[in-house]
Structures are given as structure tokens and as C-alpha cells.
Chain A
Amino acid sequence: EAGVTQSPTHLIKTRGQQATLRCSPISGHTSVYWYQQALGLGLQFLLWYDEGEERNRGNFPPRFSGRQFPNYSSELNVNALELEDSALYLCASSLELRPPYNEQFFGPGTRLTVL
């Protein structure tokens, strides 16, 4: 069974540009989560999508947005990039909304560098 996949692996942008990151969940998983892993800060929750709807978002500005497509894949968009947006962006998927099936499976991440 294929795991969570993310593209691109690396992304280099300059300040003020926009970045688009993509995620394909494990087949059959309907929930997709996005996390930011900045150096020394652990993983910070960004966004949660389920069945095409945004269910919750973390404490990030509105220039972080995304969507989930009918095939449950997801896209994270970061507008007006700032230097501090440089981080590893991780996508996770889970099978069921309700516990105990809410184990989150992570992809390898997209390393975003803002110059």
C-alpha cells in the first residue's frame, strides 16, 4: 500500500512569492492534515481537511490556505512568502474522523526555502 506522498521534495522561492505544495493521502483516507516543522519548534498544526471541507486551522495567518480535492488529495498555498516560512511542511492522512481510528500517517514532507 502506497503511503502519503508529497511534492515537490524541495521548493526554493523568494520573499513575496507564492508557494504551492501538494499531498496525496493513503488510498481510502479522507482526512488530510498539514503541519509546519520549523527548526527547533517541533510540528505546528496548520490545517485539517476532511471530505473536501476545511475543519480547523492552527494559529497561522490567512496567507496560509489550502483545499482538498474530490479525490482527497490536498494543496497547501502560502502567499506573500516571508523568510520565516522556511520549514519542512508535512502532510498526514487518517482513515476515520472518530477515534480510535485517528492515527495520522505522515508523508516525507516538502522542504520550503524562502530567500
Chain B
Amino acid sequence: QQQVKQSPQSLIVQKGGISIINCAYENTAFDYFPWYQQFPGKGPALLIAIRPDVSEKKEGRFTISFNKSAKQFSLHIMDSQPGDSATYFCAAQATYNTDKLIFGTGTRLQVFP
């Protein structure tokens, strides 16, 4: 019940295309859903996050879509660029238990020019 399932494991997109990464969870106590971006040799960096009181959040080319009833959320990267090539992790947290983030297994995105 603590798991966050992430797919796909890897994704290849052409420059200008849309990248979509999906995550699903079981624990209905989760109420904070961040996405992290990790470049090789670097630690993960917070990209965008959402709370379940909204169904969508957009920041620039990055959008989170959230479906509370289906217990799913996804990251959409519009107009994907080669510089977006990185590993993306979804995560979930129950903020009554503010310590640990539960991470998905990651998606390696490659954007080709």
C-alpha cells in the first residue's frame, strides 16, 4: 500500500514532442505528489508538485494531471527539448507523516533533436 508505481521505465521522444510519465498509488492518505528531475551525477531536484485539491497544475512546459478517484497522476512535458533528457521520479507523501517520500522507480527520458 506504500508503493508508487511508475511507467514507463524509459521513454524516447523527438524534440518538440510531448513526454508523458504516469504514476499510480494505493494509499489514500497520500496528499502531496511531487515530481523530481535527476541529471546524471546530480541529486534529484524538485520539478513540480501537486496536492489533491486540484486536478491539474502547470508550470511552464511541465504539467501535472491528477485523478483522485483513479489514484493516478501524470507528468506531461510539452515541447520536449534535448535538455529535458534526465530521469524523472514521481513521489508521494502523507503529510501527517511528514518524513518520508515514497518514490516511484523512475523514468529515463531521452529527447532526440
Is A72's beta carbon under 8 Å from chain B?
Answer: no
Is A64's beta carbon under 8 Å from chain B?
Answer: no
- The 0/1 profile, CB within 8 Å of A marked 1, for residues 83-113 of chain B is 0000001000101001111111110000000
Is A99's beta carbon under 8 Å from chain B?
Answer: yes
Residue contact A42 to B43, C-beta cutoff 8 Å: no
- The 0/1 profile, CB within 8 Å of B marked 1, for residues 62-100 of chain A is 000000000000000000000000000010100001111
Separation of A84 and B103 alpha carbons in the complex (Å): 20
Separation of A99 and B51 alpha carbons in the complex (Å): 11
Select A108's contact among B32, B42, B93, beta carbons within 8 Å.
B42
Select A43's contact among B42, B44, B45, beta carbons within 8 Å.
B44
In the complex, what's the smallest C-beta–C-beta distance from B44 to chain A, in angstroms?
5
Residue contact A56 to B100, C-beta cutoff 8 Å: yes
Separation of A99 and B53 alpha carbons in the complex (Å): 15
Is B60's beta carbon under 8 Å from chain A?
Answer: no
Select A33's contact among B36, B49, B99, B102, beta carbons within 8 Å.
B99
- Size category of the A interface is 20 to 34
> Knowing A42-B89, A42-B106, A43-B89 touch, does A90 contact B99 (C-beta < 8 A)?
no
Separation of A56 and B93 alpha carbons in the complex (Å): 14
Q: Which residue of A lies closest to B31 (CB)?
A: A99
Is A55's beta carbon under 8 Å from chain B?
Answer: yes
Tell me which of B32, B93, B100 has the highest count of chain A C-beta atoms within 10 A of its own C-beta.
B100
Residue contact B105 to A55, C-beta cutoff 8 Å: no
In the complex, what's the smallest C-beta–C-beta distance from B37 to chain A, in angstroms?
11
> Knowing A97-B98, A99-B32 touch, does A106 contact B45 (C-beta < 8 A)?
yes
**Chain A residues whose C-beta falls within 8 Å of the C-beta of B100 in the assembled complex:** 33, 45, 48, 56, 58
In the complex, what's the smallest C-beta–C-beta distance from B32 to chain A, in angstroms?
7
Separation of A92 and B49 alpha carbons in the complex (Å): 17
Residues of A within 8 A of B (CB): 4, 33, 35, 40-45, 48, 55-56, 58, 90, 92, 97-100, 102-109
